[in-house]
Amino acid sequence: MGAAAHIARPDAATRLRAAQEVRARQRRRTRLFLLAPALGIIGIFGLFPLSIALVYSFLEPGTYGGVEWVFSYDAYVQFLFERDIFDDTLSFNSAYLQIFGRSFGLAITTMIGTLILGFPVAYFIAARPPEQRNFWLFAITLPFWTNLLIRTYSMLLIVRDEGFVNLMLMKLGLISEPLEMLYTDGAVLAGLVYSYLPFMILPIYASLEKFDFSLLEAGHDLYATRTQVFRHIIIPITRPGIVAGCVLVLIPALGAYITPELLGGGKKLMIGNLIALQFGSGRNWPFGAAAALILMAVVLIALLVSLRAGASKEGGHG
C-alpha cells in the first residue's frame, strides 16, 4: 500500500481533476433524475395536449364535433367578429370579450376576497407557538379531504331558497320572503372564495413563518404606528407570499367551471363554461381550442407584466 501511495503521488493533480469530473458528472445525473419524472408528466400531459389544441384551433369544425383537416384561422376571427351568413362581411362582436371581461372581474374579485380573508388567518397561524401551528394548518386543509363537487353541492343546499340561511333568517323574522341567493354572482363569488381560500393562506403563511417578529418592535421603536408597520414592514417582506397566493388563486379562478355552473346556474357564461360548451353541444372544437389558448396567452402576458413591475419596484428600494 505504501508503494502504491508512493507511485500515485506524482500525478495527484491528475487524479484530483478526474475526481472533479466525476463529481460534476454525478451532480448532472442527480439533477436529471430529480427532474425527469416531472418533465415527463408535463411533456406527456401538458405540452402534448397543448400542441393538439394549437393545431385544432387552426382547423375547421366538423359538423358533428371534431375537426376537418382544413387550415383556417376562423376560430380566432370568430372571437372578435361576427361573420354575416349571407355576404361574409365581418362585424365587431363583443359577446366573447364580455365573457372574458366577466370572468376576469370575477376572478380578480375572488383574489381580492381571498387575500382580505386569508392574510389575517395566515398571520394568526404564524403568530401561534410552533407546536400549535400544525393543528391550524391541518384545519385549513381539511376541506380538501372532500371532493370540490360535493362541497359545492353542499353550498347549494345552504344558499338555495329553502336552504339553511333563508330558513334561519325567516325563523328569526328578519325576512318574510326567502332571499334569492342561489344563481347570483354573489353565490358564485362566495363559492369561489371558499374553494380557493387555502391557496391564498398557505403561501402567505409560508412567507410569514420565516418572518422575524422582532422587526415589528424595531418598527414601533422607530416611531411607526401599527398601520405604518403593516405597510412598510410586513407587506413588503411578505410580498413574495402574497404574489404567489394571488397567482395561485387568480389562474384557477379564471378557468373555474364547476362553481359557476352549479352556484351560478350556468346563467351567465364564464370562460370555463364557454370552452366546455364548444367541445359539447356547441360542436365547435377549433373555437374551444382557440378560446383556451387566448386565455392562456392573456394570463401569461398579465403575469409577465406584473412580475416585471414587481421586480422594478424591488429595484427601486435598493
By the criterion CB under 8 A, which residues form the site for another protein? 212, 214-215, 217-225, 228, 232-233, 236-237, 317-318
For another protein, give the closer residue by CB, 131 or 221: 221
Nearest distance, CB of residue 247 and another protein, angstroms? 20
For another protein, give the closer residue by CB, 48 or 213: 213
For another protein, give the closer residue by CB, 220 or 268: 220
For another protein, give the closer residue by CB, 129 or 318: 318
For another protein, give the closer residue by CB, 22 or 222: 222
Nearest distance, CB of residue 262 and another protein, angstroms? 43
Nearest distance, CB of residue 314 and another protein, angstroms? 8
Nearest distance, CB of residue 237 and another protein, angstroms? 5
For another protein, give the closer residue by CB, 300 or 309: 309
Residue pair 107/193 in contact by the 8 Å Cβ criterion: no
Nearest distance, CB of residue 216 and another protein, angstroms? 9
Cα separation of 283 and 265, whole Å? 21
For another protein, give the closer residue by CB, 11 or 314: 314
Residue type at position 85: I
Nearest distance, CB of residue 127 and another protein, angstroms? 16
Only one residue has cell 351560478, namely 264
Side-chain half-sphere exposure of 211, counting CA atoms within 13 A: 28
Neighbour-count burial of 306, counting CB atoms closer than 10 A to its CB (0-12 exposed, 13-18 middle, 19+ buried): middle
C-alpha cell at 102: 366577466
Nearest distance, CB of residue 224 and another protein, angstroms? 4
Only one residue has cell 394549437, namely 54
Residue pair 278/272 in contact by the 8 Å Cβ criterion: no
Q: Which residues contact 264 (CB under 8 A, 6 or more apart)?
A: 183, 184, 185, 187, 188, 270
For another protein, give the closer residue by CB, 153 or 211: 211
Nearest distance, CB of residue 269 and another protein, angstroms? 43
Residue type at position 187: A
Nearest distance, CB of residue 125 and another protein, angstroms? 22
For another protein, give the closer residue by CB, 63 or 214: 214
CA 77, 81, 86, 88 torsion: positive or negative? negative
C-alpha cell at 269: 357564461
Q: Nearest CA to 293 among 244, 255, 238?
A: 255
Cα separation of 121 and 103, whole Å? 27
CA 149, 154, 157, 159 torsion: positive or negative? negative
Q: Nearest CA to 270 among 76, 112, 92, 98?
A: 98
The alpha-helical segments, DSSP class H, found in 128-213 are 130-141, 148-159, 164-171, 185-209
